[in-house]
Structure 1
Amino acid sequence: MRNKIQVKSASISDNKEFLLYIGEEVTLDGLNPSGTMLVDSDQCSFIYLAENEDEDYTYIILDEAIWGEIKTSLENPEMKAYIAHKDGKKLELIHFQEELLYLIENIKGNSNYGDEMVGKVEATF
């Protein structure tokens, strides 16, 4: 079974970092960013892949609730994205913007992702 981490909220910090907050019960220890993203059309979410020490993947789930903040972060191409704990620990998500922009453009008008996902992506991005 794959590990899943649900992003709870998102914000842009004072020093222009895009922070994706996870629950306090989740640890970032042993996770490495893969630089790859997927789409879960059934759940209308984007998934960032992180690898753990056992070479398994952990799914970092970015659901529709934070897409508005994601859109704002994409307006600054230099902004870096991080998974973050409220305690200050964070992990940079390499290639976040490039991967996400590619997926968004691929989804628009593409019925292979399902009408609901396409409609929500087009309405938000």
Structure 2
Amino acid sequence: MSKIIFAGIQGQVLESSPNGSFLVVKLSDRITICGAVVNKFDWDIAPDEDSGFESFITYIGVRSQIDADRIKPLLQQNGAYFGKDGSDPRKSKRCRSYPFELKVRGLEADFVVDCINEGLIS
């Protein structure tokens, strides 16, 4: 599988859209992003120079509702919102190492990397 640099860290490309407009990138066992090169999905604009993404959505793996409830306040303090999908965990589609995931919008790339490098979400 190919690799990509996102906000200074190397991620593994898991999937690409048929027309190449977005990539699914595993940054850690717990955190995966879906990055858009062209923001045709009208996501929040959150550019990342390293990857070339114009915007991205973060997926955070969780083991249970209790696990999700524990980390949601930290995410919300850092600009996260959960959109029409709600803030409840859903069955994992992107975070394959976890049974459930949160689909998180509004995070900055630097915060996502801090979560990985500093163990903010463990």
Q: Which has the higher helix share?
A: 1
Larger strand fraction of residues: 1
Q: TM-score, normalised by structure 2?
A: 0.26
Structure 1 length-normalised TM: 0.26
